[in-house]
Structure 1
């Protein structure tokens, strides 16, 4: 029996959803705080800003820091983060195969991330995944999550209605962005936020690992 697809487009967050980098980002945020002599954020406080643009993340972590101090922090963070060389092995288990299956099945694929363009392009190249995505959007070229702008830009560019798109993410910022854009979401519990917290944003699917998406669509 033929069952029509519910979605034409699947949009993924990057860090914590496709690639296992949450602990590294936390380390880099904490390292930059030490170098700037800021109060070092606890692990969960650092995780809570992952997915936001780096500028918004720093403002949330250090609301009293002035512009020059924030810029210095961002510089230290960038140096620490880019010291790590990613590879395909840093993708979560089953993700590379999942992306290939989705492409072969006719889905359009996209990335909507709080990363900057430089960081995402480097990560796509290092993991060998750039060719799998139709379009990618980054926080330094549009509005940061949870604003819906990057999702709206993706669906407009691909000419796919919101009701035919699915957003997959590991943070409340991803799910809030999807809600704000009128797009349903799938939550994955392998990243920044707990399943209990993610469920508060009414995702259509709750996944332990991103590769389990194939079982639901």
Structure 2
């Protein structure tokens, strides 16, 4: 079942922002293969690596490789179990929804179009500094005129938890498998979206 941590209440939430890859869609690139081709160690932040490249030709080649991997994974995207139902449920509650992703815009849009994700507010790394920087989340909150403290950001990786914390928002960790070592940083643990749908009205009554 969804597990609440850190004094968190769903009744305080007025809007939800989602990560995309691994959260709404099975569309994560083959990061291990990408890092091997880039010649960087496991766990290295790929976007940070791109930023640190000083040779224009080397950077262009690396960016092209990242583009290839992201587009290929988006072309093969499929729904995460329960994600479409959760979106529909929250829309029935008239809750503002958005997507904030580290993807480039072309790949994110390909995933959204392929799956028919009906969320119109989408920010990518082409629109704001990449997570865990809070810029994108702040921009969405400003658009909605909703305090970050009343927004739940749902993702599947530590960057998502850090982004929420850096922005002053609440964080939900989608964790259908074993809990990662950073799970304690999340305000809400979500092993199953169907369980979250069932828990939401109980929290709101």
Global fold match (TM > 0.5): yes
Separation in structure 1 between the aligned mates of residue 153 and residue 79 of structure 2, nearest angstrom: 18
Which of the numbers 123, 136, 141 marks the counterpart of 1:137? Answer: 123
Cα distance between partner residues in 2 of 1:116 and 1:213: 29
Shift in Å, 1:30: 4.0
Q: CA RMSD in A?
A: 2.5
Query: What's 1:11 paired with?
Result: 17
User: What are the equivalent positions in structure 2 for 1:181-200 lying under 5 Å apart?
Assistant: 181-190=167-176, 195-200=179-184
Question: Do the aligned partners of 2:27 and 2:76 also contact (CA within 8 Å) in 1?
Answer: no
Question: Shift of residue 211 of structure 1?
Answer: 4.5
Deviation at 1:157, TM superposition (A): 0.5
Distance 1:96 1:77 in 2: 27
Highest RCO, 1 vs 2 (Cα 8 Å, sep ≥ 6) = 2
Q: Is the 8 A contact 1:28 1:80 kept in 2?
A: no
Query: Residues 14, 57 of structure 1: CA spacing in aligned structure 2 closer, same or farther, 3 A cutoff?
Result: farther
1:39-118 correspondence runs (5 A): 39=40, 41-42=41-42, 45=43, 49=45, 55-56=47-48, 58-59=50-51, 66-84=55-73, 85-87=75-77, 90-118=78-106
Whole-Å separation in 2 of the counterparts to 1:140 and 1:121 = 12
- Normalised to the residue count of structure 1, the TM-score between the two structures is 0.76
Change (3 A) 1:181 1:105: same
Query: 5+ residue gaps in structure 1?
Result: none
Moved more, 65-74 or 118-127: 65-74
Contact 2:100 2:137 in 1 (8 A): yes
The alignment covers a number of residue pairs equal to 190
Q: Which runs of 5+ in 2 are unaligned?
A: 1-9, 201-205
Indicate which of 176, 189, 196 corresponds to 1:206.
189
Aligned-pair CA distance for 1:57: 5.1
Give TM-score, length-normalised by structure 2: 0.80
Matches within 5 A, 1:30-41: 30=35, 32-33=37-38, 38-39=39-40, 41=41
